Amino acid sequence: MSEGIEEDFEESRLVRPYALTGGRTRPSEGDLPLEALVYPTGDAPSKAVRGVAIERHKILDLCTSELLSVAEISAKLSLPIGVIRVLVSDLIGEGVVKASATRAQTIASSTDIRLLESVLNGIASL
Amino acid sequence: MASLRSDNMVAPPSGTAASTAPPTTVKIVIAGGFAVGKTTFVSSISDITPLTTEAAMTSKSIGVDNAGQVSDRKMTTTVAMDFGRIALPGNLWLYLFGTPGQDRFSFMWDDLIVGSIGAVVLVDTSRFDDCFGAVDYFEQHRLPFIVAVNCFDGKAFHDTQEIRQALNVPGDTPVVYTDARSREATKQTLLTLVRHSMKRASEASVAT
Ligand SMILES: Nc1nc2c(ncn2[C@@H]2O[C@H](COP(=O)(O)OP(=O)(O)O)[C@@H](O)[C@H]2O)c(=O)[nH]1
Ligand SMILES: [Mg+2]
């Protein structure tokens, strides 16, 4: 019995965040890499007031105060990655924020020898 | 309308965001079984205290409930993932994502490997089987990976040749010892991975 209660709790804890996205689990435009940095375009405040979800404002506040990735925003707001992806993609679509990299760019960079060499030298210098 | 702007306009924060080009981000996956030392490994070198985030997977499972009725309920699994960040010279940020090594979590790896430089599979030699799933997965998806044996208290119970055989990893896959608590050991382990990834990338560019 106690197991059932735990499961229900677990489910509501997860379902609520997805209510923020209108049930969507995929973002409107391409997948955002976990490590993509999200930053305000400067158009942010006037446009963001149209948003209903308080979480949209929290995202905006966070990435205005500090340069953060999709994963960091998820951790700091305690919301699953998938939810943050949807909300950030909406904000990108509205021109409120930008992401530093697309999925295609990160795929290309992972085999870019010059970039890998910079990473190697960078780690060696730590 | 224009009046809305002047009041609410926020200048781009200096030194961050829009004032300069944002750093190029790269990522490395740290995989391994429960309590093998993933979070310890990430903390030993990260600039930030590792953060935890969650990914959720929802799937439908068809079952028969107690009353004998066929039920169709949603099953949700969440996986916690720890990660850290390291600023490197040349406006580069390296993210390290620590993720459980069992293959029932592979839905998360599908996401993590996209654009990843490669993976470090952390192994505790007293519990080899915890990492089989990760090794198989990375091999299948052709993600460059290395095997790093976390030597708890400086003890290794198997030599690297035995480990290589037990895990059945390809001959050119580096198998190294590490110490998740040591920044220097973590650094050397990451260097081994990046060198391996560079080798794979240059082989691929010759082949095409
Ligand atoms: N003695 C020793 N303890 C370690 C080592 N690596 C990790 N630990 C400890 O093992 C436990 C699990 O490590 P953790 O990094 O949380 O494992 P994770 O589940 O893979 O993230 C923690 O209490 C660590 O302090 C090690 O190399 N030596
Ligand atoms: Mg951990």
pLDDT tens-digit map of B91-135 = 999 999 998 877 677 777 888 899 999 999 999 888 888 888 899
DSSP line for A41-71: -S-HHHHHTT---HHHHHHHHHHHHS-EEHH
Q: Which distant-in-sequence residues (6+ apart) come within 8 Å of A45 by Cβ?
A: B8, B9, B10
Position A93 scores a pLDDT of: 87
Ligand having the closest approach to the CA of B179:
1
Q: Which one of B111, B116, B183 has the shortest CB-CB distance to A110?
A: B116
Q: What distance in angstroms lies between residue B114's CA and the mean position of ligand 2's atoms?
A: 21
Q: What domain count does chain A have?
A: 1
Residues across chain B: 208
- Taken in order of first residue, the domains within chain B and their CATH numbers are 6-201 (3.40.50.300)
Q: What distance in angstroms lies between residue A45's CA and the mean position of ligand 1's atoms?
A: 44
Average pLDDT over chain B reads: 82
Q: Is A12 on the interface with B (CB under 8 A)?
A: no
The four Cα atoms A19, A58, B38, B107 give a dihedral, to 10 degrees, of 30
Q: Is A109 on the interface with B (CB under 8 A)?
A: yes
Q: Which two tokens stand for residue B69?
A: 């009725």
**Which alpha helices (DSSP H) does chain B contain, by range?**
2-8, 38-45, 106-112, 132-140, 160-167, 183-207
3-state SS class at B171:
coil
Q: Which one of B16, B27, B198 has the shortest CB-CB distance to A67?
A: B16
Position B12 scores a pLDDT of: 39
Q: Which two tokens stand for residue B137?
A: 């997965």
pTM of the predicted structure, to 2 decimals = 0.83
Closest C-alpha to ligand 1, atom 7: B37
Ligand having the closest approach to the CA of B41:
1
Window from B56-70, B76-90, B184-198 with minimum mean pLDDT:
B56-70
Task: Name the residue with higher pLDDT: B13 or A18.
Answer: A18
For A60, name the nearest residue in chain B, comparing CA atoms only: B10
Q: DSSP letter for B33, please.
A: S
Q: What integer is the mean pLDDT of B174-192?
A: 96
Chain B residues closer than 8 Å to A10 by CB: 76, 78
Tell me whether residues B76 and A117 touch, CB distance under 8 A: no
3-state SS class at B87:
strand
Position B174 scores a pLDDT of: 97
For B89, name the nearest residue in chain A, comparing CA atoms only: A122
Window from A16-30, A96-110, B57-71, B110-124 with minimum mean pLDDT:
B57-71
Residue A64: domain span: 3-125
For A64, name the nearest residue in chain B, comparing CA atoms only: B13
Q: Is A19 on the interface with B (CB under 8 A)?
A: no
Distance from CA of B149 to the nearest CA of A (A): 20
Measured from the Cα of B152, ligand 1's closest atom is 28
Distance from CA of B81 to the nearest CA of A (A): 10
Partners of B120 in the beta sheet? B30, B146
Pocket lined around ligand 1, Cβ cut-off 6 Å: B 32, 34-40, 98, 150, 152-153, 179-181
Position A25 scores a pLDDT of: 58
Ligand having the closest approach to the CA of B82:
2
pLDDT tens-digit map of B138-182: 999 999 999 999 987 777 777 888 889 888 898 899 999 999 999
Question: From CA B18, how far away is CA B13, in angstroms rounded?
Answer: 7
Q: Are B183 and B45 in contact (CB under 8 A)?
A: yes
Percent of chain A as helix, strand, coil, to the nearest 5: 60, 5, 35
Q: DSSP letter for A33, please.
A: P
